[in-house]
Amino acid sequence: MKFGKILFSVPLLLFVLPLAHAATVQTATGTFLTNSTTTSFNTVNGFTIVTQNIVFEISGDISGTFVAKDVIVISPTAQGSFAGGGTFTGTILGKSGSVGIAFTGTFVATSLTPPFTGQAKFVPGTGTGGLARISGSGMIQGTINVSGTYSFSVAFGPKDQ
């Protein structure tokens, strides 16, 4: 009878142990200001292509500086999209370090500073210091090259990974 209890207990234990090491997902929200410098501006077949260097000053649950590059493409019908990435240095939910972030988004180019919506993600394996095992993604929105808000789902992996 003891053998039967052991056989039953082992699978149950194997099911519960991974849950003990699962990272807790937290929400991080706040705002950012942008300062951009255009590095190239071209028109090809009616499409406008802009490349930029951007510095984001971020505040809130994520606080620090994000230095990035992006490419903006605007179609002849004013539909715009952007994609980019760079390195964030600062504090996220009380943990300090640096981590790569990639982002994409869309907008309608009805002015020089149109509103946008997009997504951003921590680049796996790029974190240092307290951000070494960070993962997560979120939504960004705001005004192109001016300011915006963010809401991220953030998790920190276990220290023994």
Domain-embedded: residue 40: yes
Which CATH number characterizes residue 104's domain? 2.40.350.10
HSE of 40, CA atoms in CB hemisphere, 13 A? 9
Question: 54 near 71, Cβ under 8 Å?
Answer: no
Residue 160 DSSP SS3: coil
Answer yes or no: is 10 within a domain. no
14 domain-assigned: no
Q: Which domain holds residue 119?
A: 23-156
| Domain membership flag for residue 13 | no
Report pTM: 0.83
| Ordered per-residue pLDDT tens for the chain, 161 residues | 444 444 444 444 444 444 445 579 999 999 999 999 999 999 999 999 999 999 999 999 999 999 999 999 999 999 999 999 999 999 999 999 999 999 999 999 988 889 999 999 999 999 999 999 999 999 999 999 999 999 999 999 886 44
* Residue 3 belongs to a domain: no
Is 6 part of any domain? no
Count of domains in the chain?
1
Letter string b/e over residues 60-74, b meaning 16 or more CB atoms within 10 A of that residue's CB: ebbbbebebebebeb
Tell me whether residue 100 is in a domain.
yes
- Does a structural domain hold residue 124? yes
